[in-house]
Amino acid sequence: MLWLPPITMSLQPTLPACVIDTPLALSPYGLVTALRLAHTTRVWLSPTLWSIIEDQQFYLTHAAFVASLSDGQGSADMEASRARLAKIIEHWRKARDQLGLDMRERIFWPGEKTSEAVIPKGGDVNFIKRLDALSTQLDRKWQRGRQSGAEQVDILADCARDTIALAASLAEERPLVLTTRPADGAAPELGVYLNDSGIPCKHLDDLTSLRLLRNAIAPLLVTAGLVEIAAASGMRLAAVSLVTSGAPLLIDELVFDDAIEDEVMSTAPMGELAWDSSRNTETSLWDGAAAAWYELP
């Protein structure tokens, strides 16, 4: 009988793409976090971050948004909070222009147009369309969950929407969403947004699963120096993992339908198409979506 040596397999660990939540990016340590993480994994930044950078005067006038990013100091001194946030925004602008973020090997972000996006070469040509469709439908789910009967403007919700939609559009890469949780131990704001949108986001507290996930992510955090950043700053880092069906990868017809809908809505008489009309409630790309969050060591 022919003797055959035993078959062995060596599994090479694959780090997921990392999507940085916009409030974390706009924290005092957000920029250095992105730069350090880019040495070991592919970092994705939300398009909302660049909207804020390009139009900071508009965003800085929203007191609730500024207060939410004021390092726990609330709105007691709104002008000081605005000044701190404006400084962080300027650091991002300088980093893009002086450090060449758009030329970095592992830092990417979408844009309103393909020409404005920084995405991996040879990537999916439908990536921007997919992201737009996911973001639009997620916004509809959130607005419907608010039960207000009218569209609302909420900058923090916009940040969460684009972060979650970006993670969903990168589903093949098994993305990890890096965020923070409040100091009082409450769930991350992304988890609250998902639940408000009808997408269950559970706290992962199974010890076996947590150990496996943390063991896989710990080398990334240690190598990037995030452990000492979190310890020194008092940040409580958390991760959100999103699970979606295969629908987001197959969106050509839905994108086309949305384009027709937008055209119809732009030409329809005022009030003819209500927010909750049947043509304006398509959310099927998010059917079956679910998420889990867990604190990182």
Q: Where are the beta strands (DSSP E) in the chain?
A: 18-20, 43-45, 107-108, 176-181, 201-203, 236-243, 290-295
Closest C-alpha to 84, from 28, 163, 8, 167: 28
Residue 26 confidence (pLDDT): 96
Q: What is the model's pLDDT at position 8?
A: 41
Q: What is the pLDDT of residue 71?
A: 59
pLDDT at 140: 93
pTM: 0.84
What's the pLDDT score for residue 116?
Answer: 77
> What are phi and psi for residue 49, nearest 5 degrees?
-55, -45
Domain map (residue ranges) of the chain:
18-295
- Establish how many alpha carbons lie within 13 A of residue 225's alpha carbon, considering only the half-sphere containing its beta carbon: 13
Burial of 271 (C-beta count, 10 Å sphere; 0-12/13-18/19+): exposed
Extract the residue ranges of the chain whose pLDDT is less than 70.
1-16, 71-76, 113-114, 147-152, 251-281
Chain centroid, CA 20 distance in Å: 6
Tokens (6 digits) for 78: 């709104």
Sign of the C-alpha dihedral computed for residues 87, 93, 96 and 98 taken in this order: negative
Pick from 96, 128, 95: nearest CA to 114: 128
pLDDT digits (tens, 9 = 90+) for 104-122: 889 999 987 667 788 888 7
Residue 171 has a pLDDT of: 86
pLDDT 10s digits, 195-239: 999 999 999 999 899 899 888 888 888 988 999 999 998 899 999
| Identity at 144, one-letter amino acid code | R
Residues comprising the chain, all counted: 297
